[in-house]
Structure 1
Amino acid sequence: MELSLQGPVGQVYALVVNNDILFAGTQDGSILAWKFNVVVNVFEPAASLTGHSRGVVSLVVGANRLYSSSMDNTIRVWNLENLQCLQILTDHTSIVMSVLCWDQFLLSCSMDKTVKVWVTTESGKLEVTYTHKEEHGVVALCGVHDSQGKPILLCACSDNTLRLYELPSFLDRGKMFTKQEIRTIQMGPGGIFFTGDGSGQVRVWNWLIDPTISIQ
């Protein structure tokens, strides 16, 4: 069945689902939420989360929090129970393109050529514990496991490369080249992952059985 959810102003840049609520990050900086009503079998508007001054480009849910990154160079942390903003993260100096939850950490990447690792302090606030620098802007992040089960961070950069780092050490595991910059990365079953780039091409990647052979 096709449903049209009314409300967004301009483009919709990001979507995430938590339980029975759908969140959409929009071009005007708002995050719209719809809740599914099983009685009448439709999505109904639930809330509008405001605060970002420019488009919301990435949304992720973790630890009962909603994290939103924006073209206004900030990340906002939202309480999923009352949908109130708990904290504004301002350490990036350019568009925050993607956010990722990994264990007790939050990772973010930006066109300021950095990947930042955030950890929750005793006060309950997120602070940067490590900053990884790249030569180019970082467009997208994704966490996967290699053929040996080791956690790997995939970083799509604006120079049309996909860089691989072993976590938590950020040990360089190689890079892959594409025709245009990768805009999105998605995990798949059995260790595979997918990339979509600016040329309109979707690629499916799998890990080599021999971990001593690096990806170049």
Structure 2
Amino acid sequence: MLGKCSYGANCRYQHQWSIGAGFSEVIELSGHDKDVSAIVLPLASDKLFSGSKDGTLCIWDCNTGKCGNVFKTGAEIGCMISEGPWLFVGCPSVIKAVNSQTGADLILSGTFGQIHSLKVGNDMLFAGTQDGTILAWRYNDSSKSFELAASLRGHNLAVVSLFVGAGKMLYSASMDHTIRVWDLETLQCIEVLTEHTDAVTSVWFRNESSGNLEAIYTHYVDHGLRLLHGVHDGDGRPVLMCSCNDKTMRLYDLPSFEERGRIFSVEEIQAVDILDRSMFFTGDGAGKIRVWKWSSEQKTEL
């Protein structure tokens, strides 16, 4: 677990960072000194972007697995997303936007604390902030800049996760124990979900439907959850990935919630990104990025 085995690949014990069937590790990428807080693989790109609390942004070549460029942001990176030609990087009280086509480098600034989550929906960029506000930015073609369109208020503590649904709804998870549902047309909160008894650290939506939401099932784990991510495996089956505070990521088949595997890490897994149905990426608190592939390979049974 400490990565200090003197025998390396010749060790008689398996150096295996997962158990379960249908996925396997491809490579480990090392380049950050602190927590990997964001991983992004832009659509149709051969470059993988990773952001860290050490204040660096690394660009990896997907063909060689090598880090080609390292950029220092001057502050810890809280989140990062890619949308079209834009790469958005969330740092304390600032969002940095870079356009890969035009080379434009823009700064969206304010006094709202760390940016914990970024999402795009209804032609707007939404940012979940430390002070509980959700900021909505819209790009102005005339001025070639992003302008603040609205500030969505309602949460009492930090907004740490956002999800945009297909029905033009924005879902926000907060340290104040609630999830709020926002109408993207009116930018008004239309529902508050209060079933959680502690901080809601991640929100993800599947099989969206109309009408009010209600809790229909609760799945308990031994440790707190850090991150949720939904994906389809190599066979097209839905899988829920749950990063837990015990430094594992647990994979569940949906809708049965039957556990199909676990990924182990030296520190908590804090970032995940998906490449269609072939690969996925995890980043942890030790600064490591691991690349995984879906397969039919049978591994150790749980």
Give the TM bin, normalised by the shorter chain: 0.7 to 0.9
Q: 2:260 aligns with which of 150, 173, 177?
A: 173
Whichever of the two has the greater Rg, that structure is: 2
Q: Distance in 2 between matches of 1:154 and 1:148?
A: 16
Residue 32 (str. 1) matches residue 135 (str. 2): yes
d(CA) in 1 for partners of 2:278 and 2:121? 24
Q: Show structure 1 runs of 4+ deviating over 3 A.
A: 212-216
Instruction: Find the aligned partners of 1:99 and 1:127 in 2 and give their Cα distance.
Output: 14
Gaps of 5+ in 2: 1-103
Q: TM-score, normalised by structure 2?
A: 0.63
Greater fraction strand = 1
Superimposed CA distance per residue, residues 11-32 of structure 1 (whole angstroms, 9 cap, x where no aligned partner):
1100001142000000000001
Query: What are the Cα deviations for residues 134-187 of structure 1, in whole angstroms up to 9, with x where unaligned?
Result: 000011011111222111110000000010100001111011101100112111
Aligned residues: 198
Q: How does 1:1-216 map to 2 (within 5 A)?
A: 1-62=104-165, 63-104=167-208, 124-210=211-297, 212-213=298-299
CA distance in 2, matches of 1:45, 1:194: 32
Counterpart code for 1:53:
N
RMSD across aligned positions (CA): 1.5
Give the counterpart letter for 1:30 in structure 2: T
Give structure 1 stretches of 5+ with no counterpart.
106-119
CA distance in 2, matches of 1:156, 1:97: 11
AA at the equivalent of 1:147: G
Deviation sequence 1:63-102 (CA, Å, 0-9, x none): 2100000010100000000100001111001110111111
CA distance in 2 between counterparts of 1:127 and 1:58 reads 19
Deviation at 1:189, TM superposition (A): 3.4
C-alpha contact 2:234 2:277 (8 A) present in aligned 1 = no
- With normalisation by structure 1, the TM-score equals 0.87
State the one-letter code of the partner of 1:37: N
Question: Residue deviations 1:78-134, cap 9 Å, x none?
Answer: 0000100001111001110111111227xxxxxxxxxxxxxx6xxx21100110000
Distance 1:93 1:138 in 2: 13
